[in-house]
Chains A and B, each alone.
Chain A
Amino acid sequence: MSHGPAPASGLYGLVAEFDSATALLDAANKVREAGFTKTDAFSPYPIHGLAEALGMKEHLVPKFVLAAGIFGALGGYGLEYWAQAIAYPMNIGGRPTFAWVSFIPPAFETTILCAAFTSAISMIVLNKLPQPYHPVFNAPRFSLASQDKFFLAIEAADPRFKLDDTRAFLNGLHAKEVVAVDE
């Protein structure tokens, strides 16, 4: 456990460990009220309201998915129309070259395909994943974050960050343990 002021340059921030989701959510709210902005919380399963508690307001994924869906629909249907009615029109079974009904099923599938992939990919990209290294992994007990422990981090980059005050503040939030983590 690294006590004492570490060189501010090499310091990532302070990471506090909690026992329960309730404690974490509690702490998160307090931290936000205290005016910290560069913060993050870590839990082994999704906790509703936690992100909001940390002041997250972004809702991009659904927008991307909607756009992709529309693109998939128009693109798929357009491709079919162009291929059958313009690029190489043929008399197939006496049907018109633009038999609009027959084109619906493939267009539907392309819609789903584009939307689905966009939702997954946008999630991953917005999360800046894959990210093999992150300073928070340096926290000694952080491996438990994917099992049954809860963590709250305040980054050194935060304007209100003062190592000792912030450590005291976190301890005041009933953190089991607070550690400073290097870059």
Chain B
Amino acid sequence: MTLSAIRSRLAGLEGRSYWRSLDEAADTPEFRAYVEREFPEQASEFNDPAGRRQFLKLMGASLALAGVGACTRQPPEKIVPYVRQPEEIIPGRPLFFATAMPQGGIGLPLLAENHMGRPTKLEGNPEHPASLGATDVLAQASVLTLYDPDRSRTIIGRGEVKTWGSFLAAMQLLLGPKRSNGGAGLRLLTEPISSPSVLEQIDALLTTFPQAKWHQWDPVYGVVQGGSAASSALYRFEKADVVLALDADFMGFGPASVRYTKDFTSRRRGANPEHPNRLYVVEPTPTVTGSTADHRLALKARDIYPFAAALAGALGVAGAAPAGELPEEARAKWLPALAADLRAHRGAAVVVAGESQPAAVHALARAINEAIGAVGTTVTYGAPVVGSPVDGAASIAQLVADMNAGSVDALLIVGTNPIFTAPGDLDFRAAFDKVANRVHVGLYHDETAELCHWHVNEAHYLESWGDVRAFDGTVSLIQPLIAPLYDGHTLLEILANLNGTSGQSSLDLTKAYWTRAFGGQTKTAWTLRDAKGQAFTTVDAFWRHALHDGFVASTSGFTSTSQPAAASTTASAAQTAPAAAAPAAPAAMTGTEIIFRPDPYILDGRNANNGWLQELPKPISKITWDNVAFISPRTAERLGVPVTRSGNQNQAVLSISYQGRKASIPAWVQPGTADDVVVVHFGYGRKRAGRVGSNVGHDVFGLRSSRAPWFDGGAEVSNSGEGYYIASTQNHFAMEGRHPVRIVDVEELKKNPKAVEEQGAEKPPAALSLYPVYEYPHHKWGMAIDLNACTGCSACVIACVAENNIPVVGKSQVARTREMHWIRVDTYFGGDPAKPDGPHHQPVPCQQCENAPCEVVCPVAATVHSDEGLNDMVYNRCVGTRYCSNNCPYKVRRFNFLLYQDFVTPELMAQRNPDVTIRSRGVMEKCTYCVQRINHARIDEKTTGRAIQDGDIKTACQQVCPADAIVFGDLNDPKSRVVELKATERNYGLLDDLGTRPRTTYLAKVRNPNPALE
């Protein structure tokens, strides 16, 4: 390898590259091979994750040096001298700061847990209307991205490491001439943006350069098939008795899902839901929302429109197109029953249209909502929260057209990664080369950055100052929890500099904007009031309040109808717009339907380098580390794909051809998928994601079309005959008549209160035991999990990972079913696989049995009971016989078969929760009911003398749960919620017929079916 070749490779390396030998610098395959296997041949096949991590440790250690010093630096804004103990910081006591996570331009409000200047865990902001204390999977995992050693660490200009100053200079050189020609040829490509301050900067930029254009591309959020809606809906599910979801995963997808899940499940959880709501879901593939449905209909995505139209017609909506061809069941059974039910619940029903459905369906849904008096009660329509909403697909298509026409000579790309994610029909890459000056701003030096002349490493949101709006419009302030680890810069800074205001930090800029907003000098007029609706006396009062609360209450779409003045006009315009003016009905489609879905966690690949998300089993399918194409059992039979599996194994690889473009992706037989549909999940197959995410899974963006980005007909699918190993954490989805999840109809339960109990096997009488029962006089911790509320979103799993320092083991270890998650979400299907009932979800942590089978068999007493009834695991006493795991009926114990924990990479050390032991090789571990949190509370009880109140202690899984399905408390406190829940007739113990007396019990799922559809 020549020296020049080595240098060019080094230039492309993620992060600042230190190399120890030319071999390593060259990074030849030989060298990789050498590091990957410190043991010859046989080693690789079983321990390549360990081997891979070995390699990564070596590389990481060198790559990470830059980060080491940075880990606990304080933000420059408030340097605190440690000569005297700063009043706030008490070692061992975390501080919480309000901030927000932007996702697709929308903010999710957070409280960040900060240990000695290190953010370690994120919780929801309890006051914020968009969170009410809960968060989602992506927010939980984002803290790991902050510490990702593969994040871009430097500004790179034409392959060389450059300084911030030189970048600004280069930008001036680039923009200088454009000031004369109005910025012709200047293009800005971003994700959707709701940040008022950034929008103002963009606005300013576009005024300075009238010829410049702003494009938006986000393959996940803000892509609408067939034109974008002029308004966005805000649902009030807590008021809805009947909900119809048209291919809408409102509880499983998007920043609104957290609040919506809370609202929706508020009608189902608790001791005895008075009037349980009823959910109809019509969707092509099973979703989290679909799994909570009382009635679920698997329908091709293309049939949703005729279905909605027919329903609208049945409900007397003027000008509703006649129903097209619909399956018998939908037409004869569903439509009449549904129409009747919606009519019967006038004003207390709502129809929800899904993001991936064309605008026409949204218009129909809105028309129906108006017809059934939903608008104003269960749904309100307002202006979209993101600034100047466009259809991303159309926008990027336009950009490509212009680039091909040669009318683009300067392109500034922020965040998004079009080289990887652009629809295949556009050939973005080819057009991209025609642009003279390409600038990329992003967290990673990714596929796009690689092809850009300039790359600026962006600051993670936990490192930045800024603002963002939640889905309901609420303005949240983003404050940094730590100084930028790798000296990243925010979009706000860059835009301000392009606009000529140099030398200002993002704090200055944000504060400046809100100071002007307070004075009413911003284009958007804000009404700034505190929680009680009082106006603020001074800017500082407002600023402090906003930072402390993390949001400005008066801007919420829930609490107040007062949208920002500028926006409200469009909003009212949208409201007055007649439904008839909706976009034309989508063209009819034929042939096998191809549906594109983002991977639920990796999204478009932006999270590919996040090990937690890679290893988190996808909802429903339980697949890890890969993307697949869902097909129904019938379709599988047609394609000659085996329908059943006994364990992890090779899956048939489908070769899909669509509009002449081809791609291959492993098939996954997923009951509940509509027939003749192939559901392709994109986001995998990254080339430059980093040590974790590169070359994982299959890239299918090539198939996607900018005209029909979500679904289309005419796909040709065939079984390639090849096999591809998929690692799934669950391979058996039938309950085998054992009723781990117990389900009753609401009427049945009313008639027979013992209905739930009778489903289980006979419980042994308590008197059967020869031994006396232990008393737990002081505290007696217990948990109740409400399966009626659980949606299977898996946020509890990832929250547990973040809280308890649970390691990532890698695909091949998951394939050996050695994943380490302390809580898992089991999923079961019932009935005929072709038309299944379910999925039914069941979170399973350690059941903390009072007669724990695991304890008796441990030879060294490494797992024993505490006097509060916790099933304690003593790591440093464990010798690793694994007998406890064998004897655990719930199989919730996890064993460190190899050295899974990363003891080397400094960034990752900084993320760990200091209250939880890091487990090493050969040690058994399991859920502890978050004993560290219990101990914190007990210490407080001792010091303050104030007894622990119900709700003082929240386990990580409980705190994150948007559905409030998990309740933890003291069984000795008669007033505690957990006691109240365990008293209901829905309460049952998993496998309680074994006499293990589990402390964790479940509340049975209660269906509220429509008799007409039974």
A contacts B directly (C-beta below 8 A): yes
Whole-angstrom distance from the CB of A145 to the nearest CB of chain B?
51
Query: Is A44 positioned at the interface, with any CB of B under 8 Å from its CB?
Result: no
Query: Is A131 positioned at the interface, with any CB of B under 8 Å from its CB?
Result: no
- A92 lies within 8 A of B850 (CB): no
- B867 lies within 8 A of A96 (CB): no
C-alpha gap A93/B872 in the complex (Å)? 11
- A94 lies within 8 A of B997 (CB): yes
Query: Is B82 positioned at the interface, with any CB of A under 8 Å from its CB?
Result: no
* B residues near A94, Cβ cutoff 8 Å: 771, 773-774, 849-852, 865, 997
Whole-angstrom distance from the CB of B861 to the nearest CB of chain A?
6
- A93 lies within 8 A of B851 (CB): yes
* B residues near A93, Cβ cutoff 8 Å: 851-856, 865
Query: Is A95 positioned at the interface, with any CB of B under 8 Å from its CB?
Result: yes
- A96 lies within 8 A of B855 (CB): no
Query: Is B660 positioned at the interface, with any CB of A under 8 Å from its CB?
Result: no
C-alpha gap A90/B870 in the complex (Å)? 13
Give the interface size class of chain B: 10 to 19
Query: Is B864 positioned at the interface, with any CB of A under 8 Å from its CB?
Result: yes
Q: Mark A84-98, 1 if CB is under 8 A from B, else 0.
A: 000000111111100
Query: Is B772 positioned at the interface, with any CB of A under 8 Å from its CB?
Result: yes
* A residues near B861, Cβ cutoff 8 Å: 90, 92
Closest B residue to A101 by CB, please name it: B770
C-alpha gap A99/B770 in the complex (Å)? 10
Q: Mark B764-786, 1 if CB is under 8 A from A, else 0.
A: 00000001111000000000000
Contact pick for A95, options B854, B856, B997, CB 8 Å: B856
* A residues near B997, Cβ cutoff 8 Å: 94
- B772 lies within 8 A of A96 (CB): yes
- A91 lies within 8 A of B864 (CB): yes
C-alpha gap A122/B116 in the complex (Å)? 69
- A92 lies within 8 A of B855 (CB): yes
C-alpha gap A90/B865 in the complex (Å)? 7
Give the interface size class of chain A: under 10
Identify 5 new A-B residue pairs, CB closer than 8 A, beyond the known A93-B855, A95-B856: A90-B861, A91-B774, A91-B866, A92-B856, A94-B851
* With known contacts A96-B771, A96-B772, A99-B771, A90–B851 Cβ distance under 8 A: no
C-alpha gap A65/B380 in the complex (Å)? 92
- 15 of the cross-chain contacts (CB-CB < 8 Å) are A91-B774, A91-B866, A92-B856, A92-B861, A92-B864, A93-B851, A93-B855, A94-B771, A94-B773, A94-B774, A94-B851, A95-B771, A95-B856, A96-B772, A99-B771
C-alpha gap A93/B852 in the complex (Å)? 4
* B residues near A91, Cβ cutoff 8 Å: 774, 864-867
Interface positions, chain A 80-117, Cβ under 8 Å from B, are 90-96, 99
C-alpha gap A94/B849 in the complex (Å)? 9
C-alpha gap A96/B864 in the complex (Å)? 13
Interface positions, chain B 830-869, Cβ under 8 Å from A, are 849-856, 858, 861, 864-867
Whole-angstrom distance from the CB of B997 to the nearest CB of chain A?
7
Closest A residue to B853 by CB, please name it: A93
C-alpha gap A91/B773 in the complex (Å)? 11
C-alpha gap A93/B995 in the complex (Å)? 11
Binding site for B on A (CB under 8 A): 90-96, 99
* A residues near B858, Cβ cutoff 8 Å: 92
* B residues near A95, Cβ cutoff 8 Å: 771, 851, 856
Interface positions, chain B 844-901, Cβ under 8 Å from A, are 849-856, 858, 861, 864-867
Closest A residue to B871 by CB, please name it: A93
C-alpha gap A99/B850 in the complex (Å)? 16
Whole-angstrom distance from the CB of B749 to the nearest CB of chain A?
32
C-alpha gap A96/B773 in the complex (Å)? 9
C-alpha gap A58/B865 in the complex (Å)? 55
Closest B residue to A92 by CB, please name it: B855
Closest B residue to A95 by CB, please name it: B771
* A residues near B852, Cβ cutoff 8 Å: 93-94
Closest B residue to A91 by CB, please name it: B865
* A residues near B855, Cβ cutoff 8 Å: 92-93
Whole-angstrom distance from the CB of A92 to the nearest CB of chain B?
5
Interface positions, chain B 253-272, Cβ under 8 Å from A, are none
Whole-angstrom distance from the CB of B929 to the nearest CB of chain A?
16
* A residues near B856, Cβ cutoff 8 Å: 92-93, 95
Closest B residue to A88 by CB, please name it: B861
The 5 closest A-B pairs by CB, nearest first: A93-B856, A93-B855, A91-B865, A94-B851, A92-B855
* B residues near A96, Cβ cutoff 8 Å: 771-772
* A residues near B866, Cβ cutoff 8 Å: 91
C-alpha gap A94/B867 in the complex (Å)? 11
C-alpha gap A90/B867 in the complex (Å)? 9
C-alpha gap A99/B854 in the complex (Å)? 16
Closest B residue to A94 by CB, please name it: B851
Closest A residue to B770 by CB, please name it: A101
Whole-angstrom distance from the CB of A100 to the nearest CB of chain B?
11
Closest A residue to B769 by CB, please name it: A94
Closest A residue to B851 by CB, please name it: A94
Closest A residue to B866 by CB, please name it: A91
C-alpha gap A95/B849 in the complex (Å)? 12
C-alpha gap A91/B772 in the complex (Å)? 12
Whole-angstrom distance from the CB of B931 to the nearest CB of chain A?
16
Whole-angstrom distance from the CB of A86 to the nearest CB of chain B?
15
* A residues near B773, Cβ cutoff 8 Å: 94
* A residues near B865, Cβ cutoff 8 Å: 90-94
* A residues near B772, Cβ cutoff 8 Å: 96
Whole-angstrom distance from the CB of A122 to the nearest CB of chain B?
33
Closest A residue to B855 by CB, please name it: A93
C-alpha gap A93/B998 in the complex (Å)? 11
Whole-angstrom distance from the CB of A48 to the nearest CB of chain B?
47
Whole-angstrom distance from the CB of B779 to the nearest CB of chain A?
14
* B residues near A90, Cβ cutoff 8 Å: 861, 864-865
Whole-angstrom distance from the CB of B267 to the nearest CB of chain A?
38
* A residues near B851, Cβ cutoff 8 Å: 93-95
C-alpha gap A91/B854 in the complex (Å)? 13
Closest B residue to A99 by CB, please name it: B771
* B residues near A92, Cβ cutoff 8 Å: 855-856, 858, 861, 864-865
C-alpha gap A94/B997 in the complex (Å)? 10
C-alpha gap A95/B866 in the complex (Å)? 13
C-alpha gap A92/B853 in the complex (Å)? 9
C-alpha gap A96/B855 in the complex (Å)? 13
Closest A residue to B867 by CB, please name it: A91
C-alpha gap A109/B866 in the complex (Å)? 31
Most buried by A among B771, B773, B866: B771
